Amino acid sequence: MKFNLKKLIDIEKVKKNFLKFSSKSILVIGDIILDHYILGEVERISPEAPVPVVEVKNEKFSLGGAGNTSLNIKQMGGDVFLITAIGKDKNGKILKKIIEKEKINSFLLERNLPTIIKTRVIVKNQQVLRIDKEKTEELKKFEEEKIKKVISKEIDKIECIVVSDYGKGFLTENIINFLKTLKKKIIVDPKPEHFKFYKNVFCITPNKNEASLGIGKIDVKGLNDIIKIGVEIINFLKCKNLIITLGKDGMLVFKNKFEIYHIPSIAKDVYDVTGAGDTVCGIFSLYLSVSNDILESAVVANFAAGIVVGKLGTETTNQEEFIEFFEKNYKNFTIEKIKV
């Protein structure tokens, strides 16, 4: 059964809820990544090997992982407290400067490990190469205790908790179990190998590949298969809600295993899907903190993702840009309630 989005939410309701964002503080905890972009042009092939020669025209650094999730919340007008780890190195200092520049409140655990960095080489808006530098190691017990003390100090100001799991060692089972004792809504952008950590959380937001791998499925073909996987995830994790992002096909929203919705993609142009999952998780959590409505919040997150995938690299949106985009597109937008 399909229905028009106007029956659920309209532009005035969105604007009214946006005004409440500044009073909400979201805790974001997880793996941070320094995203490094090398922008260049190719005009010749190397005489040394059959590879293009990239002439560098510009470079930029931005927040990735938990940093990007935090920035999405901040740029949309919410208050955010970021807890993560950086290395005691040059790249750690770059991350710290960006976080300070963006006025993101944070606790940055400095570890004797290199800061995780992903370098992407971009030519004519196309990524031609990615280089990753990382060394992962789980938090030690004394580091976990430091994190717990910081969380305990901040938790009374916090509306909900966002877990940004990139599988880089910062999120341990011990830390997740501690978060569950705090009686706050926990929304997780999960890594498949950590699915078992997230039993009984409020909501998880995997993409379709993460969802299938998280419960050991590999032969996933169509929407019906993904719906079945979603029901299995809810049965396995006992999570209250589930969002599975589908790329160009939008997202599936499980308010529970008996109430499932398909929200189509709203993206007009897709230049880069980097960080779109961060946007979905961050904006969903922020809007949920004021609306307390799963489907409404998922729709808003879907529209936000539709904006950022039209930009190059890990990007965000803001209230003004969102409202203009939403107003142009929501009136003829339909949602499908799936028969189960």
| Mean predicted confidence (pLDDT) in 176-187 | 97
| Mean predicted confidence (pLDDT) in 79-108 | 97
Q: Give pLDDT tens digits for 253-312.
A: 999 778 999 999 886 665 556 678 899 999 999 999 999 999 999 999 999 998 988 777
Of residues 171 and 248, more confidence is placed in 171
Q: Give pLDDT tens digits for 36-78.
A: 999 999 999 999 999 999 999 999 999 999 999 999 999 999 9
What is the chain's mean pLDDT, rounded? 92
Active site (catalytic) residues: 278
Q: Where do runs of H (alpha helix) occur along the chain? A: 11-18, 66-75, 90-101, 141-154, 173-180, 208-214, 223-237, 276-291, 294-308, 319-329
| Mean predicted confidence (pLDDT) in 147-174 | 96
| Pairwise CA distance, residues 83 & 101, whole Å | 17
| Pairwise CA distance, residues 279 & 302, whole Å | 9
Angle between helix 276-291 and helix 66-75 axes, rounded to 10 deg? 50
The answer as to CATH 3.40.1190.20 being correct for domain 2-35+64-110+138-338 is yes
| Pairwise CA distance, residues 196 & 226, whole Å | 19
| Pairwise CA distance, residues 143 & 145, whole Å | 5
| Pairwise CA distance, residues 106 & 96, whole Å | 9
- pTM of the model as a whole: 0.93
Q: Is the pLDDT of residue 206 over 80?
A: yes
Domain residue ranges in the chain:
2-35+64-110+138-338
Q: Is the pLDDT of residue 82 over 70?
A: yes
Q: Could you give the C-alpha distances from 70 to 102, 207, 278, 306, in angstroms and in order?
A: 10, 19, 8, 18
Helix or strand or coil: residue 169?
A: coil
Q: Is the pLDDT of residue 214 over 80?
A: yes
Q: Is the pLDDT of residue 9 over 90?
A: no
| Mean predicted confidence (pLDDT) in 154-161 | 96
